[in-house]
Structure 1
């Protein structure tokens, strides 16, 4: 109708031109004041449902393979469902795994933030650096959950953040019992697996796939996400390599300074002072550069790794959607088969009525399964449309801020190094001028060796 505005395509912001990803409205940093993205999950007075979480005070418990780390979780919230505005609990990594699993199971279609990967080697070593890296990653995970428009209202998050030791121990015991029971072979699960295998085989033979029932724009987004995951993983790998090379260069510079100092000891003239200056400045630059490399690992490499983990979470959500569509397609196929069977029975003369009645019940059951499968699939589709658009906006903003901070840090590092080397040059020239005045040489003249 005239005057009505058409609704935007559901994946419009996801399918936007890649060149526009880095044009977010975040403020541009000035050289004297670096840009920092606002902390996620922070409490604002004008947000009655906000939740702010802090992961603090990691404490190592036990030794060897049985060792683990506990973290203090401090929550400040104005959410009406919480019993108190401020609370503190102690949790370990397996408890975070419980929260992640529950959120994933009960929120199909949502992009649940990623947990840091498990590492048996690093866990056994349990270094301070590993513990701090895990604390930061868990902080990011909880902050993203607490700021998620759907997940922040989950009962599982509230239970994780507020339960006392007794209630939490009971919940963990219940979860472990459920996990053990789920490992036992289940007949229904086996039947579903065989049905899925049969459905996949039929699709391969017929040359058809479930993509024919999918939205064309969504398929483009899915392919884009899969390609993005590959490039993000490679970007993180190269960032880690860059920091490693930077650290190696710092070590080489420091060793070169010591070598120059030793070389200067063989010269009793003014050159010895120049070598001493070179040693001191090299050590100074190496120390400050090593500190910058450590900061870069936390502010650039770690966020890139987090983005790569998040992409895998998006792919998990897409896999849930594909599974739901497959189940819907299978349910429709089963229903069609039951309808054909019913039609044949009705056309068979002299057949007992109870067989027809049983076939009619099977058709009704099949129709119920189709409705349930369609409801599940439609629910995931509706939620994913919002989730993918939100994910892409956040990713563009985060990546833009990350690149600006990285460029600014590199510019500041280059400026600091230039000032340090310039100061060294001025010092050496001053020494040479002084030596030239004593020996009759001009400014900047290097004294000849005796």
Structure 2
């Protein structure tokens, strides 16, 4: 059997541990490759996640265990910062752990925000679907349009969580969907108290984590330039450095994707606004032409009135489509801008986990050095050496725990990035197809409407 070189061993270890690779981006990946680890079957079509009237569509692929509708928004308080909107969350589920199969609960936006934060804490490495951004100005105004837009976005959020194979089993989601308002408030208080200790511990290690990330960046540069240090001879350190090199490419792709999606969303908003303005202009034109027709007499009067009525009819169609595009075209683009940011947050969490692992390893090295000095110093009490040995043992356990956490996040990220890219490609293709069909239909209807007013040409080319 041929000998295996040290470099080949490292690369084999990298392949086993580095499951987050550029193949997670499928055919649309700028690095090429085929996606791995995505959920079987296509994602639910966007129109099945949320419809304009708050009801579900007929297609519910991937949502076999849940049907969730956010409806009946109710405004509480006057137009002040203390005002808020409550929503009725109606669920139909077949999961056996639910005590109620068709629960209906009342929740407000802060409850949705708590659920998302809790899912992030309990499912590191998983891309948590985004919530709509907070808007202080619009919250103060509380317009009907703002409330309806938020209601639809909250429904999308819940259905995406419920469609995720891991998040659908979350106890926090179950509490959110079926607990009474009183029981839910108690659960929120309990969970917040439980999370407080972890948050304080994270703050204590933040500065050291950032320093380790800087060191890791230098390791990556050394790898690219061909430089080596003693630390890089450690197989684990080399594997992590290789992972980081790949993640730099993925992160750059995500930054560019966010920029392009943001610009596409901005132009979609502009297009919808212009289409709405076109409809308004057509309506005003139609009204003015009908008035002119009433001033005229005979055939000319009829022609003006017919023209005005067609213009008003097309104005309604244009304005209706502008409203529809806001839901079926602009909203999905906006949501995927938020989804990319959620994916970037998972990548940032992976970096924090790596920093925590590096810090834990540095702590072990420091304690080993301390123990070696004690062992080499005459007259040191055995109790002192035993205490440092216990500290070293505890530090080694922390390294193993940090390593397990880091590797769990890396494995989950591989599946999540592949799932994200597969769903995004499928849904965006459907969104663009629906947009094209809608535009073609409106153009066809417009041409037919105007054609009914145009005189048909005779055989010699003259109008009849």
Q: Equivalent residue for 1:192?
A: 205
Q: How many residues align?
A: 417
Q: 1:368 to 1:142 in 2, by over 3 A?
A: same
Contact 1:89–1:162, Cα closer than 8 Å, also in 2: yes
**Of 298, 314, 318, which residue of structure 1 is paired with 2:343?**
314
Contact 1:48–1:79, Cα closer than 8 Å, also in 2: no
Contact 1:254–1:282, Cα closer than 8 Å, also in 2: yes
Q: Equivalent residue for 2:272?
A: 243
CA distance in 2, matches of 1:36, 1:182: 39
Question: What is the deviation of 1:172?
Answer: 4.1
CA distance in 2, matches of 1:207, 1:384: 20
Q: Any gaps of 5 or more consecutive residues in structure 1?
A: 27-34, 434-441, 446-450
Look up the SS of the partner of 1:108 in the other structure: coil
Q: CA RMSD in A?
A: 3.8
CA distance in 1, matches of 2:262, 2:348: 19
Contact 2:294–2:305, Cα closer than 8 Å, also in 1: no
Q: 1:395 to 1:206 in 2, by over 3 A?
A: closer
Look up the SS of the partner of 1:301 in the other structure: helix
Question: What is the deviation of 1:220?
Answer: 3.1
Structure number with bigger Rg: 1
Q: Equivalent residue for 1:226?
A: 255
**Of 417, 424, 431, which residue of structure 2 is paired with 1:388?**
417
Please give the residue correspondences for 1:119-158 in structure 2 after superposition, counting only pairs within 5 Å: 119-158=135-174
Q: Equivalent residue for 2:443?
A: 414
Contact 1:43–1:50, Cα closer than 8 Å, also in 2: no
Q: 1:319 to 1:201 in 2, by over 3 A?
A: closer
Q: 1:17 to 1:408 in 2, by over 3 A?
A: same
Query: Structure 1 length normalisation: TM-score?
Result: 0.81
**Of 89, 95, 114, which residue of structure 2 is paired with 1:79?**
95
CA distance in 1, matches of 2:431, 2:63: 30
Q: 1:116 to 1:182 in 2, by over 3 A?
A: farther
CA distance in 2, matches of 1:342, 1:401: 63
Query: Structure 2 length normalisation: TM-score?
Result: 0.79
Q: 1:175 to 1:17 in 2, by over 3 A?
A: closer
Q: Equivalent residue for 2:229?
A: none
Q: 1:45 to 1:397 in 2, by over 3 A?
A: closer
Q: Equivalent residue for 2:361?
A: 332
Q: Equivalent residue for 2:375?
A: 346
Q: 1:58 to 1:285 in 2, by over 3 A?
A: same
Q: Any gaps of 5 or more consecutive residues in structure 2?
A: 2-14, 34-39, 51-55, 223-236
Look up the SS of the partner of 1:16 in the other structure: helix
CA distance in 2, matches of 1:296, 1:46: 23
